Amino acid sequence: MSEELDQLQEENNETLYERTTFIVDKGQDPMRIDKWVQARVIGLTRSKLQNGIEAGFLTVNGKIVKSNYKTRPGDEVVYMSFINPDYTELKPEAMDLNIVYEDEAVMVINKPSNMVVHPGIGNYTGTLLNGVAYHLLAQNPELNEELLPRFGLVHRIDKNTTGLIVLAKTPEAASHLAKQFFNHTVERKYVALVWGDVEEETGTIEAHIARHKQNRKMFDAYPEGEIGKHAITHYKVIERYNYVTLVSCILETGRTHQIRVHMKHIGHTLFNDWEYGGDRILKGTIYTKYKQFVDNCFEACPRCALHAATLGFEHPTTGEKMVFESELPSDIQAAIVKWKNYKAAAHT
């Protein structure tokens, strides 16, 4: 048997699923597909597997099958499994959610800054998913809480990144959305304020991304592709303000910190991105008045200036193309106004 493990954009902010591909041996006797796969995936319970098969997370030769399907030599078996974040219980919590859209299959939420998407070490409460669990259980008290963390979340964005995120309300919707993320058919556009006057009006950054060799909490760009995951970011200048530039970024892939790492790689670190050095003056002559101005901008936008502005996907039930837009939040807008005024004053 040959086996290939393809992470669906491993360790990234755009998906929480991985795909495992198997080829059935030529000498393999017929066997129920659920038993065959369970024997080959460590830690996979039969009930979890059968739920996944029912939801469409398993295909044989590109087609969804039932649990009692009998394997045949040469079959290509693909199983998509949930990359479980570091938590086992999800405590529902009442909170105000900015729900942009909701129906029986999906919900789109405009996430605020300073909110973690899902529970993990040090963040077991107060996350977006805690609020979603409360919301969904209020709609349907009979809902199995076990399904919420496993099928609700199909991608994520950083704690201090604002903007749009889609969640599935059924296993079937999760399967459909996860496949769209894997096939790179989900439309994702971010808006970022970056240091420096970006030279080209448009451009494409192509460089592998992997953990930083010295600081394992950070990521770095490896343009030669010697390590890491392939990553592509397309950017376009929206407006220039002398020492900073407002850009839009379209993700062709979705690696961890992709925009932050790629923009730093080309010399344009995101404004006030403390992890990557954007929380200090990177452009402009440092003198007292200018330093005070930049500090005021940092105070206006006390986080990495990155916003998930556009999210488009095919509705998992109707097949309709759905596109959602989110305006820049007030903190990034406040920083932009200051830079606009600074630019105007410099040209008078």
What span, in angstroms and rounded, lies between the C-alpha atoms of 164 and 16? 16
Non-local (6+) Cβ contacts of 35 within 8 A are 46
Tokens of 338: 């200051």
For the chain, the average pLDDT equals 87
* Of 124 and 3, the one with more pLDDT: 124
Q: Identify the CA nearest to 229 among candidates 203, 199, 206.
A: 206
31-54: average pLDDT: 82
pLDDT band of 243, cuts 50, 70, 90: very high
Q: Which helix (DSSP H) or strand (DSSP E) does residue 312 occupy?
A: strand 306-314
Judged by phi (left if over 0) then psi (alpha if -120 to 50, else beta), residue 59 lies in beta
DSSP string of 274-294?
GGGTTTS--SS---HHHHHHH
Q: Is the pLDDT of residue 309 over 90?
A: yes
Q: Each residue of 218-241: pLDDT tens digit?
A: 899 999 888 888 899 999 999 999
Backbone angles phi, psi at 333, to 5 degrees: -60, -40
Most confident of 58-62, 64-68, 73-77, 336-340: 336-340
Enzyme catalytic residues: 158
pTM equals 0.81
Q: Which helix (DSSP H) or strand (DSSP E) does residue 99 occupy?
A: strand 99-102
Overall size of the chain counted in residues:
348
> How high is the pLDDT of residue 88?
56
Q: Each residue of 178-215: pLDDT tens digit?
A: 888 877 899 999 999 999 999 999 999 999 998 888 88
pLDDT band of 11, cuts 50, 70, 90: very low
pLDDT band of 45, cuts 50, 70, 90: confident
Estimate to the nearest angstrom the gap between the alpha carbon of 271 and the chain centroid. 20
> How high is the pLDDT of residue 5?
29
> How high is the pLDDT of residue 161?
96
Backbone angles phi, psi at 166, to 5 degrees: -110, 140
Partner residues linked to 191 by β-bridges? 248, 307
What are the distances in angstroms from CA 100 to CA 47, 133, 165, 326? 34, 17, 10, 9
- Which domains are assigned to the chain? 17-82 (3.10.290.10), 99-182 (3.30.2350.10), 187-346 (3.30.2350.10)
> How high is the pLDDT of residue 87?
53
Q: Is the pLDDT of residue 4 over 60?
A: no
What span, in angstroms and rounded, lies between the C-alpha atoms of 281 and 296? 12
